A and B are shown apart, each in its own frame.
Chain A
Amino acid sequence: MSDPVTALKGAKGTAGFATVTEIGPVGMITLRGDFANKAVVKAAVAASGMTFPEQRRCATQGDQGMAWMSPDEVLIMCPYAEVHDRLENLQTALAKHHALAVNVSDARAVFRVRSPKVREVVAKLAPVDMDEAAFTIGMFRRTRFAQVPAAFWMPEADVIQVVCFRSVAQYMFDILNNAAKTGSEVGHF
C-alpha cells in the first residue's frame, strides 16, 4: 500500500513570532444527516469516540475529535490509519438511515500555529472576534482565512489548529507565516 503524503510534507515555518506547522495526515470523516434522529447521533458518537458537540463547538481528546460544522453536518477526526475502519462502522450503523458519511482525509490540509500571540495571527486573516472572552477553547469556527475557506479551533490557549482544502495548503501556509512575521505584532490582545 502506498504511504499517505500531506500537501506540504510537514512544512514548518519558524521565522515569525508564531510557529506554523503542517500536521497530519489526519483522518477526517464528514457526516451529514438529521441530528434530531437519535440513531444518527449515536452512530456519530460511536465512530468518533466523543460526545456529540454543541452548536459551533468541538470536542477533542488525543488524536480524535468531533466538530459541529452546521445544523446537519459534523466533522469526525481520528488517526489516519483508523479512518477506513471507523467509516465502515459508521456506514454500517447508518445503513437504514438517511445520512451521508465520506472520508475526506486526503482532501484537506491541517496546520498548527503556536504562539502566545496566536490570536493576532487569526485576527489578521479571519473576520472573527478573537477577544479572549469572545473566542474560547472548545469553540469551533468555519470562516475564511484571507481568500480561502477554513475552519479552526484552539486546542490550547496558545495554539490554533486550522483545517483547509488541500488545494490551497501552500496559500494557507504562506498567509499564516506572513501574518506571524516578526515585527508585525499589533499587540491588541
Chain B
Amino acid sequence: MLTIHCPNCGVTAEETEFHAHGEAHLKRFGPGSSEDDFESYLFMRKNPKGVHFERWHHRYGCGKWFHVARCTMTLEVFGSYTGQTSVPPQQIIDTIQDRRPDWVPAQDQA
C-alpha cells in the first residue's frame, strides 16, 4: 500500500483514492514519425527495478493529474510534483539522490 500526496488539492491518502497511469515523461511521436518511434511511443515502457516516474490521477478526489517518483522495489515514495512538466524538478532529483546515491537521472545519462 502506497501513501500518495496530490499536489493539486493537498490531500495525502492511501493509493486506492488514486489511480496510477503508467510511465511518466514519454515523448510523443505522432503523424510523420518513423514506425519505430511510433511503436515505442505506443507500446515500449520502462520496467525498472528501483527509481521510477509515473503519472497519477486523483481519481476519487480532485480529479487532477500529477507525477509521482517512487521505488518499484522498496515501494518508497520519493515525492509528488506537477503534471505540467516533461522532466522531474530538481527538488525531486535531490531527494532521490539523497536516498539512492548511485542513481543518475535519465536526462544526464550518456
Contact = CB atoms under 8 A, between A and B. Distances in A.
A121 B14 CA distance: 18
Interface in A45-60: 55-56
Nearest to A145: B60
Contacts, number: 38
A127 B8 contact: no
Contacts of B13: 127-128, 143
Interface in B41-84: 59-64
Interface string A127-138: 110000000000
A71 B17 CA distance: 18
Contacts of B59: 149
A143 B9 contact: no
For the residues of B in contact with A, the DSSP-based class is loop
A71 B8 CA distance: 7
B11 interface: yes
Contacts of A128: 13
B10 interface: yes
B8 A70 contact: yes
A69 B60 contact: no
B8 A56 contact: no
Nearest to B3: A127
A71 B14 contact: no
A144 B62 contact: no
Contacts of A143: 13, 17, 60-61
Interface in A139-166: 141-144, 149-150
Interface string B1-18: 000000011110110110
Nearest to A150: B60
A141 B15 CA distance: 16
B64 to A, nearest CB: 6
Contacts of B17: 127, 143-144
Contacts of B62: 69-71, 73, 142
A143 B12 CA distance: 11
A55 to B, nearest CB: 6
Given A71-B62, A150-B60, 11 more contacts: A56-B9, A70-B9, A70-B63, A127-B13, A127-B16, A127-B17, A128-B13, A143-B13, A144-B16, A144-B17, A149-B59
Interface of A: 55-56, 69-71, 73, 127-128, 141-144, 149-150
